[in-house]
Amino acid sequence: MSLTQGLISGGWLWAAALFSLLMLLLALRSAPWPVLAGERRLQHLLFGATVSLMLMWTMRAGVSPGLGIHFLGMTTLALMFGWDLAILSGTLALLGMTVIGHESWDTFSVNVLCSVIVPALASIGVLRLVEAKLPRNFFVYLFMCAFFGAGVATAAAGMVMALLLWFDGVYPWGKIYLEYVRFLPLIMFPEGLLNGIIMTAMMAFHPDWIRTFDARLYIDEQ
């Protein structure tokens, strides 16, 4: 879910840049820097997740420019590190993709918005809703936050990208629907499955790696 150079007009690029900059500043302010500075393991984990995200984003499919689909992986990052570090990690991964020529500098802000910020916030939104409405249960967290949350994040990111292309007049809605929107459900399930498998492994063997998962609440007190 990324854009190529020259697709989006300047007004939308500036709007995306301002919003993305605001979210990055909030993430920088909210991130647990003392903990990150004192925990070398957390530093290695964050770096590894960022590099893994870059490698995953190199695999994509699509027909027309701007209508490509690839795995996001942002739900796993949001659940592991929280929305702030997830946004910073995703932005660094996208920056690396742009430096090596896989993404365009011209549309960097829009790509950050659609591929990083929207799915990260959607994932955290699902997490907060689950925490407020559903019991604290291992399987509830796994299926609703990891599997279902990843599907929601994919749908949200895809629809924001589709609406942006439509509002800016890049493509008519019929073309966007035929080549992009109707395929979103097909990527939502594998995205959920991928994030669900990764989170299952971490919840079973390394629950301390997941910032939003408290094993004492979800397992010990059941």
In this structure, what token pair is assigned to residue 55?
């490698």
Residue 192: the pLDDT is 92
Does 117 map to a domain? Answer: yes
Range of the domain at 71: 10-220
Residue 215: the pLDDT is 65
Residue 8: the pLDDT is 73
CATH number, domain at 189? 1.10.1760.20
Residue 176: the pLDDT is 86
Does 5 map to a domain? Answer: no
Q: How many domains does the chain have?
A: 1
Of 167, 214, 219, 131, nearest to 13 by C-alpha is 167
Does 3 map to a domain? Answer: no
Sequence-separated (6 or more) residues with CB below 8 Å from residue 102? 57, 58
Residue 65: the pLDDT is 53
Does 20 map to a domain? Answer: yes
Does 115 map to a domain? Answer: yes
Does 99 map to a domain? Answer: yes
- Compute the distance between CA of residue 51 and CA of residue 77 in angstroms, rounded to an integer: 12
Residue 124: the pLDDT is 96
Does 193 map to a domain? Answer: yes
Sequence-separated (6 or more) residues with CB below 8 Å from residue 144? 126, 130, 134
- Give residue 208's region: left, alpha or beta (phi > 0; psi -120 to 50): alpha
Residue 72: the pLDDT is 84
Does 1 map to a domain? Answer: no
Residue 219: the pLDDT is 63
Q: Which positions of the chain have pLDDT values less than 70?
A: 1-7, 60-70, 215-222
